[in-house]
């Protein structure tokens, strides 16, 4: 039977990146001791007040069709939180709720891009961006960053990539996988490019609550950007709610109307009991959230300190996020080969950097998604893998 051309556009390296993770899950099911560091799924439980809010909502009968754009209460809470953190003047009419940030990015791309349009994306990039833009027939134009620059994008490189076909720029700060965040001066230069060339900016800010150094800048708050920026965020990382599927888009009202129409024919909203729990998460200052953030910071420091002593490996200290990129090129192995050997022989699952783009070839992405004792064990096993590779290379 015949399949559409779409099936080819949404496949590729991004979709294949998860094969090593799937292999790790299979080994676990066979009883193998595997430390799973290959996916950004928080190991914390969702804070109990959020869980209780969902249960109470279910018991109250909130199980019917939801408002397609999201409940007024949740949208107002998202807008209030964004105003407080960014200074941008937004209200509930500037917010559309989606089942996760992944769906939000996909929906924005569908509403902004036509086949043949170009979208500039800082690379390394999250593995699903390729498929998201491929689904609408747009061309991804990667702009490589450099590890010696802390994986931060250079506005001059972005400027050089702009063509008459450029329609949008997507930036993810703090970045997945690198954890790099962009300072105000960089944002101002990028904003100038967007205004000068009449470009949309898609700002993926999912890791904004997990920033350990510097200040998070939401570019939609800068002059001239509110009407041309789609800000993406969610509760998956900040509140350990990855399985709840709660995300949103903040943008101009005209974009939001188009997003509602798309949601009508694709999603029809997310359950009210999930939205009620999400609203509580945004409105209450839960101590568990601050504790999780501090724990991630300590895990980052532990991994960077541990790998600093490891021959053949160099960890690039991230500003934020829940991953550490480690350069393994001195071992003589490609990142994919190193990751495969690390899983099969040492029981640690990580992703190879090539899945995120050529600029992180030779790097592995280590998820900070287990407790510190297990992370220390994982670092020990990574060091063993590197040491054995170096000895084999010398032999």
Distance CA 128, CA 101 (A): 11
Q: What mean pLDDT is predicted for residues 256-262?
A: 97
Distance CA 6, CA 300 (A): 39
CATH 3.90.1150.10 domain range(s) in the chain: 6-45+288-394
Instruction: Output the pTM of the full model.
Output: 0.93
Output the average pLDDT for the chain: 94
pLDDT of residue 112: 98
**Given this structure, which CATH class describes domain 6-45+288-394?**
alpha beta
Residues in the chain: 395
pLDDT, tens only, 212-239: 988 999 999 999 999 999 999 999 999 9
Q: What mean pLDDT is predicted for residues 26-50?
A: 94
Q: What mean pLDDT is predicted for residues 175-194?
A: 96
pLDDT of residue 17: 64
CATH 3.40.640.10 domain range(s) in the chain: 64-283
Model confidence at 15: pLDDT above 80:
no
pLDDT, tens only, 113-138: 999 999 999 999 998 898 999 999 99
Q: Pick the range with the lowest mean pLDDT from 144-148, 162-166, 247-251, 365-369.
A: 144-148
pLDDT of residue 13: 58
pLDDT of residue 12: 62
Q: Which CATH code is given to the segment(s) 64-283? A: 3.40.640.10
Q: What mean pLDDT is predicted for residues 329-354?
A: 94
Q: Pick the range with the lowest mean pLDDT from 40-44, 190-194, 198-202.
A: 40-44
């Amino acid at each position: 039977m015949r399949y559409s051309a779409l099936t080819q556009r949404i496949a590729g390296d991004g979709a294949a990146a998860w094969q090593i993770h799937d292999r790790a899950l299979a080994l676990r099911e066979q009883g193998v001791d595997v430390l799973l560091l290959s996916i950004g799924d928080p190991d914390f439980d969702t804070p109990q007040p959020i869980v209780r809010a969902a249960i109470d909502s279910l018991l109250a009968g909130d199980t019917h069709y939801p408002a397609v754009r999201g409940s007024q209460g949740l949208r107002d809470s998202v807008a209030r939180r964004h105003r407080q953190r960014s200074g941008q003047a937004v209200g509930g009419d500037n917010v559309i709720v989606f089942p996760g940030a992944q769906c939000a990015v996909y929906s924005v791309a569908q509403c902004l891009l036509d086949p043949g349009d170009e979208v500039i994306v800082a690379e390394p990039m999250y593995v699903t961006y390729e498929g998201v833009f491929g689904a609408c027939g747009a061309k991804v134009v990667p702009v490589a960053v450099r590890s010696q620059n802390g994986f931060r994008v250079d506005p001059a490189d972005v400027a050089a990539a702009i063509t008459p076909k450029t329609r949008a720029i997507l930036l993810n700060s703090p970045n997945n996988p690198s954890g790099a965040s962009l300072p105000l001066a960089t944002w101002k230069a990028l904003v100038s490019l967007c205004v000068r060339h009449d470009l949309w900016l898609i700002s993926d800010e999912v890791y904004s609550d997990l920033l350990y150094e510097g200040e998070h800048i939401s570019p939609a708050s800068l002059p001239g950007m509110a009407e041309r920026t789609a800000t993406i965020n969610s509760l998956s990382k900040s509140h350990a709610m990855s399985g709840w599927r709660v995300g949103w888009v903040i943008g101009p009202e005209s974009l939001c109307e188009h997003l509602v129409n798309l949601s009508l024919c694709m999603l029809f909203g997310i359950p009210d009991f999930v939205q009620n729990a999400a609203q509580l998460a945004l409105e209450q200052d839960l101590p568990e959230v601050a504790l999780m953030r501090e724990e991630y910071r300590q895990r980052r420091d532990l991994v960077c300190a541990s790998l600093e002593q490891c021959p053949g490996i160099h960890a690039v200290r991230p500003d934020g996020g829940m991953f550490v990129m480690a350069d393994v090129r001195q071992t003589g192995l490609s990142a994919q080969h190193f990751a495969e050997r690390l899983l099969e022989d040492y029981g640690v699952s990580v992703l190879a950097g090539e899945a995120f783009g050529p600029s992180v070839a030779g790097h592995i992405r280590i998820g900070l998604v287990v407790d510190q004792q297990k992370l220390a064990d994982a670092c020990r096993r990574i060091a063993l893998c590197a040491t054995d590779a170096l000895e084999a290379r010398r032999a």
